[in-house]
Amino acid sequence: MNSVVMKFGGTSVADADAIRRLIAIVSAQAARSGAPPVVVVSAMSKVTDQLLRMTADASRGERATISSGVDEIRRRHLAAIEALVPPPDRDAVSAEVEQQIEELRAMLTALAILREASPRSCDGIAAAGELLSSRVVAGALQAAGIRTAWVDARQAIVTDDHYTAAAPLTVETGEALKREVAPHIATGLVPVIGGYVGATRDGVATTLGRGGSDYSAAIIGAGLGVAEIQIWTDVDGMLTADPRVVRDPRVVAHLSFGEASELAYFGAKVLHPSTILPAVSTDIPVRILNSRRPEAAGTLITARPPLNDRPIVALACKRNITVV
Ligand code: ADP
Ligand code: ASP
Ligand code: MG
């Protein structure tokens, strides 16, 4: 398939300005390739942390913080809609967000009454971040003249019931993607789908683990057989070291699947460690790009290692680990 998957992380959908940059990047890609890309989005930055904090509060019966937290999440999403989606479509997109917000409020209230937060309940609440952001991004792209179709990730990614770290079921997910996503591409629509989220065969919401939107992008790309999986983030690519630890690390232009996977596994947070698995099995290149500097070349990750001989590619580290 000529189409590509474009995944945008939390900072790349954080507010109206970030979503405007996303729209420009998606338009340029659609114009370049001719085929509609599939857009996968994370929750707006910090929203997942906030949702999980509220779930913990609810499990202790603390109801006061729930109300203010849900109000803040609601305000952020409605502000982005206000800035990006003019009437008459604004009302419909706002109504979808309001409905999701009310569901979230009801779930948290129920947990606060019951004082419980099972992994299954945590996932029901954590999934709201991507369900909300994908609604906003779909509405914003549509308002910018790009014909889109919002896809419910719970219909498109089928997982086991290992809540909070669910694994995709490859055959079922392949079938679901062909049913829920491929027809939109065939009719010229850009599918917009929340990352991180899936559902069991019975339709109960699951999540793929923290940072799992990268993994969703790779699962979707592999299931549809796209030409490339793009990970749009807030740095210029895979760097020679964690920029929060080392000053001025360099971008690594080209990595093999094995090298990238190892760096991700050992702490290079820019890529979820499982992302490479679906790409390897289908031999689809992965590119890491900066949504604030789309002109930068980024990092290309392919099956074949780059030709030049490099003694050290990059360093990664994990904190607070004791090896016994
Ligand atoms: P997103 O929200 O786009 O998924 P993440 O916060 O998950 O972004 O990952 C990007 C961050 O990963 C960067 O801002 C950077 O601080 C961190 N990071 C850690 N190690 C590396 C590395 N080797 N190369 C690039 N970024 C890294
Ligand atoms: N929103 C989820 C998280 O913060 C998934 C992701 O952003 O990749 O972990
Ligand atoms: Mg990430």
pLDDT digits (tens, 9 = 90+) for 55-77: 999 999 998 889 999 999 999 99
List, for residues 122-170, the tens digit of each pLDDT value: 999 999 999 999 999 999 999 999 999 999 999 999 999 999 999 999 9
Judge whether 301 and 285 are in contact, CB under 8 Å.
yes
Mutate to test the pocket of ligand 1, among 40, 45, 196, 235 (most ligand atoms within 8 A of CB): 235
Ligand 2 centroid distance, CA of 271 (Å): 11
Ligand 1 centroid distance, CA of 11 (Å): 11
The four Cα atoms 218, 223, 226, 232 give a dihedral, to 10 degrees, of -20
**Prediction pTM value:** 0.95
Judge whether 237 and 251 are in contact, CB under 8 Å.
yes
Residue 308's pLDDT is what? 67
Burial tier of 312 (Cβ tally within 10 Å: 0-12, 13-18, 19+):
exposed
Residue 172 has pLDDT above 70, yes or no: yes
**Which residues share a beta bridge with 66?**
none
d(CA 54, CA 59): 9
Atom of ligand 1 minimally distant from the CA of 231: 3
d(CA 204, CA 120): 8
129 lines ligand 2 (CB under 6 A): yes
Question: Which one-letter DSSP state was computed for residue 323?
Answer: -
Question: Which one-letter DSSP state was computed for residue 87?
Answer: T
Question: Which one-letter DSSP state was computed for residue 210?
Answer: T
